[in-house]
Amino acid sequence: MTPREASEKSEAICRLAPVIPVLVVHDPAHARPLAEALVCGGLPALEVTLRTPAALEVIAEMAQVEGGTVGAGTLLSPEDVSRAIDAGARFGVSPGVTDRLLDAAEAADLPMLPGIATAGEAMRLLDRGYTVAKFFPAEANGGASALKAIGAPLPRIRFCPTGGVSLKNAPDYLGLSNTLCVGGSWVAPKDRVEAGDWDAIADLAREAARLPA
């Protein structure tokens, strides 16, 4: 997969809904009902972060949910890419960028949302042929105003800002011409997941899905 093809596929995934849920799931038993609730609420693209021992099993369970597109987040190495694909991930997300990571994703035909925080990092992605990236950590790096400033000289690259994004500030990002969607964890609060309150999570997903993209 070329960087251009990867970016085209990543953009299509980002355009599925205004929000990609960022999920840290500890119990595989929660995987399928959580994915079903989010998809039912209108958020079909799901990022499962590789931050728990259960993450790969969670991806495998969520990959079986009809209507969902499950990706793996916190990819740091070629080995992470291989494990994510074996589990059923259809896209990858990383907090930063290395050539080894992108080489592995391209060789494995895994669309990526590679993370960047500066204009220089965005320019290096553009040099490689990528036109879609993750802006991370969004709020810590200046929020929507910083992303708008990056977009002025670099209009070819578009973003999914993640990190500190909430229902309250998501519209600030989504109103920017260089934002495709946002990533956020607020649609799957830990207490609601642990309680198995899937109706409440579906309601949060519906609220997020109504955000203007």
Q: Which residues are catalytic?
A: 47, 134
Helix (H, G, I), strand (E, B) or coil at 95: coil
Residues 6 or more apart whose CB falls under 8 angstroms from that of 13 comprise: 20, 45, 69, 71, 90, 91, 111
**d(C-alpha 134, C-alpha 117), whole Å:** 8
Which segments of 53-147 are extended strands (E)? 69-73, 91-93, 112-113, 115-116, 132-135
Q: What is the DSSP string of 149-192?
A: HHHTT-TT-EEEEBSS--TTTHHHHHTSTTB--EEESTTS-HHH
First to last CA, the chain: 28
In eight-state DSSP terms, residue 21 is E
Facing residues of 184 across strands? 21
SS3 20: strand
